[in-house]
Amino acid sequence: MPCRNLFAALPDPGQDEHFETLFATPGLRIERIASHLHASPPGFWYDQPADEWVMLARGSAELEFDDGRRQILTPGDWLVIPAGCRHRVAATGPDTVWLAIHTAG
């Protein structure tokens, strides 16, 4: 089995965030998210049917929740976003990399 690096072969900055599934089995999906000065579109909210564990591996980011709370993330910060918790990406810095783990709903 090959060893890979979370920061290798990152896509060039583009108009949208880049989502890449690194590993998946029934009930679990691990993905790398590459962001470069991205934010969710105005009025857009993620409202996922399952829990998500997310960690900021590199860069900077701010999440916004529909209850008005905002969470600034620095490298190494992680949190669990429960199923049904509406949230959005308020901002990211350049060359930001996330690691997200999604469970089955």
Alpha helices in 17-101 (DSSP H): none
pLDDT of residue 16: 87
d(CA 101, CA 54): 6
Q: Which pLDDT belongs to residue 1?
A: 83
Q: How far apart are the first and last CA of the chain?
A: 29
* Residues of the chain below pLDDT 70: 105
Q: Which residue has the tokens 């993905």?
A: 31
Q: Helices (DSSP H) in 19-83: which residue ranges?
A: none
CB 54 within 8 A of CB 30: no
Domains and CATH numbers, the chain: 18-103 (2.60.120.10)
Look up the pTM and report it: 0.90
How far is the C-alpha of 7 from the C-alpha of 46, rounded, in Å?
25
- What is the model's pLDDT at position 94? 95
